[in-house]
Structure 1
Amino acid sequence: MAVAWLHFGRQKHVLTWTASYAVAVFQWAANAGGFFLKSGLLYGIAGFGLVTSASLLAIGIRQRSGRPVPVRLFAIPAGAAAIATLVAISPIGMQSMQGMIIPAFVGVLVAISAVSLWPRDRAFTPPELAFFSVLVAFAIGQAALAGAALLITGPETGKELYRAILSLYTPTIYIGTGVAAILVVAGDLAQQLRRQIRHDPLTEVFNRRGLDEAGIKAIAQARRHNRSLALVVCDLDGFKALNDGHGHIAGDQALRGFAQLLTSAVRRGDIVGRMGGDEFGLLLLDSNAAAAAEVMERVRVEVGHLSLPRFPQAVLRASFGVAELMADDSQLEDLVARADAALYAAKKGGKDRITIWRDAA
């Protein structure tokens, strides 16, 4: 886990998981010491380590999911479990109590971890599903351990099941959880790399490669379902003058603002990409050229109200060329060629306007 943190981007949740397993190393060592030395204190340290390790596991999962980590969600129950453990290992405590409190608490924490792992608006990735399954098995194992503790009635009476679960099932599930977590970290890294390959780092929309790949799928889907498809090619009027007059920082702000405006104007499922420089391409599904032009007219008006935080005196305008999928189009480049021609006509006609290819032809 530490190697994963060092070499896979040094993300906060991976560091938290590293700490979780580091604590677990000492927890298992204390547990072994408590068994061989018959030390209640070492058993208590092992119990506290288990609570801490499980808490860090749950915190790391919430960090990865972007969910808040309220301190009281973990601190108060962990403190209560620690106090209960101290009571359990004291002379007034019972062995069944010692073996039940911590596994029950950890089982609840791990169950919370599994719920926190559940994606909000998408399906599980294969590594996430493996991690989720192992966490569920972990929670079930802790519940079984707590239940087995209820069978302990004396110094050695009723401990067979408890020891079998603790010595056989628990180490296996610890290793399984660690391996599954590593797979999640590697899967996240692979997903980040795929995103970097297909997305523009400045505007966070598709780059030309991502737009081309999305275009192939969009055209195939439109053909399959006999639906319309429109392509819009647009750019900022006078972008070079903006860069020359105010610098590249102003140009970058304009590109980011324009990309955000385009993304917010289209529907979910429509595609926005940066084709290069200040030129953007939009694929509008189930839309003909006229409908796409209506959407872009709203964008054209809003571009005029787009302000750059550090350059309030800069005035932005944009031009748009629109083309729709035709029967003899075989690839995205066919639409791009016509939309580019319409954009050129819009520029030639005075800029700050929208031109449909049929009108420009």
Structure 2
Amino acid sequence: MNAPAILLSLLFGTATVMTVALTVAWLHFGRQRHVLTWTASYAVGMLQWMANAGGFFLKSPGWFILTGVGLIISGSLLAIGVRQRSGKPLRLAAFAIPAALATLGMALAIGPLASQIMQGFIIPAYVGVLLAVSAASLWPKGRRFTPPELVFFIALSAFVVVQLALAGSATLIRGPELGKDLYRLIFSIFMPTIYVATAVTAVLVVAGDLAQELRRQMRHDPLTQVLNRRGLDEAAVQAIAQARRHKRRLALVVCDLDGFKALNDGHGHIAGDQALRGFAQLLVSAVRRGDVVGRMGGDEFGLLLLDSAASAAADVMERVRIELAHLVLPGVPVTGLRASFGVADLIATDRQLEDMVARADAALYAAKKDGKDRISIWSDAA
């Protein structure tokens, strides 16, 4: 078996393995759109490498045209998948029109024009620009790269460099062999490594997204989408440590819906669930970015307000209390939901969240005892 056959077998094998791996990932791990799009990209890649082999061994222009079309479609699907994963707007025309122009140019280069320079330049230049846009779309906003994202970004960037190097070397082709050697050298040395690297790092991104989603599910309440008790405890460890390190204030609010059991018993659990969701959304919208909201169990919620004294936290909760009374929820026939709130400051003797919870709970009990639908600060209830 000669070197080109080995090279094409390696690329075909990589595309096949990736198609199978991504198909399994899509079927069993959430069926995300971008994973399905990447699966299609590598499935087209399988066909494209087969067509490449047919063109190489049969010396048929038709097979080379199919190869070029496959490269365009495969690269476009990879870029579309990155765009889907990023959650950015996706305009298919922005991909379809350049792809159609590249396909037309490639067909003319192989057919009527018979230009080896255009044959070697159009596809690598198109794929290189496309993957550069993909790498830019992968760049996260408001946060750092996760390790899988970073290696995938590096692999895509390397792929861009290789494709643009191929396009550049194609402009040096001046005769039957002159310039082709450099093109073949770049392709044979770098293309297999970069293709495999991009494939492997794409799988790492899928696996990393899955692991992150599992961690999110472990820390979040599925009904209200705020933190669960475990997530709240973990967030409190960091919040308390930062407050002590930087000598800042920290306030804890413990609150629950007044008469929640009666709502559940009288109108069913669907109404109760809607009330919990609405209350949680109201709490999240009332606090600042960086503050922590968690469901401690049942209808009880806990909030950690960073850089806030208990009095400031009480002011925020007063707005929540007023808005809650006017909240209208689908499926909840009861109007004018009510809630009680207990607030406690972080003090020098606190070592963990439970220390603050004990005082906030005492304040909440005092609010209930005084008639409910009110806010009590621990210092006032002690």
C-alpha distance in 2 between matches for 1:71 and 1:206: 37
C-alpha distance in 2 between matches for 1:111 and 1:312: 54
1:313 offset after TM fit, Å? 4.0
Task: Letter of the 2:246 partner, please give it.
Answer: H
Q: TM-score scaled by structure 1?
A: 0.98
Whether 2:139 is the aligned partner of 1:95: answer no
C-alpha distance in 2 between matches for 1:155 and 1:312: 81
1:287 offset after TM fit, Å? 1.0
Q: Detail structure 1 runs of 4+ shifted over 4 Å in the superposition.
A: none
Question: Which residue matches 1:169?
Answer: 190
Q: How does 1:142-181 map to 2 (within 5 A)?
A: 142-181=163-202
1:4 pairs with one of 25, 45, 57: 25
Name the % identity.
Answer: 72
1:177 offset after TM fit, Å? 0.5
Per-residue CA shift, 1:58-99, capped at 9, x if unaligned?
111111111222111111011111111110011323111111
2:213 pairs with one of 184, 192, 195: 192
Question: Which residue matches 1:225?
Answer: 246
1:49 pairs with one of 49, 70, 74: 70
Q: TM-score scaled by structure 2?
A: 0.93
C-alpha distance in 2 between matches for 1:244 and 1:269: 36
C-alpha distance in 2 between matches for 1:313 and 1:319: 17
Task: Letter of the 2:165 partner, please give it.
Answer: A
Whether 2:349 is the aligned partner of 1:328: answer yes
Aligned to 1:272, what secondary structure does the other structure show? strand
C-alpha distance in 2 between matches for 1:220 and 1:146: 54
C-alpha distance in 1 between matches for 2:334 and 2:292: 31
1:24 offset after TM fit, Å? 0.8
Return 5+ residue gaps in structure 2 as ranges: 1-21
Aligned to 1:308, what secondary structure does the other structure show? coil
C-alpha distance in 1 between matches for 2:195 and 2:259: 60
Aligned to 2:329, what secondary structure does the other structure show? coil
2:360 pairs with one of 336, 339, 346: 339
Q: Is the 8 A contact 2:125 2:167 kept in 1?
A: yes
Task: Letter of the 1:231 partner, please give it.
Answer: L
Task: Letter of the 2:270 partner, please give it.
Answer: I
Aligned to 1:259, what secondary structure does the other structure show? helix
Deviates more, 1:158-167 or 1:123-132: 158-167
Q: Is the 8 A contact 2:275 2:332 kept in 1?
A: no
C-alpha distance in 1 between matches for 2:65 and 2:81: 24
Q: When the two structures are aligned, how many residues end up with a matched partner?
A: 361
Per-residue CA shift, 1:308-333, capped at 9, x if unaligned?
12334433011000111111112111
C-alpha RMSD of matched pairs (Å): 1.1
C-alpha distance in 2 between matches for 1:299 and 1:84: 62
Return 5+ residue gaps in structure 1 as ranges: none
Q: Is the 8 A contact 2:327 2:335 kept in 1?
A: no
Aligned to 2:240, what secondary structure does the other structure show? helix
Deviates more, 1:199-208 or 1:166-175: 166-175
Aligned to 1:195, what secondary structure does the other structure show? helix
Question: Which residue matches 2:373?
Answer: 352
Aligned to 2:237, what secondary structure does the other structure show? helix
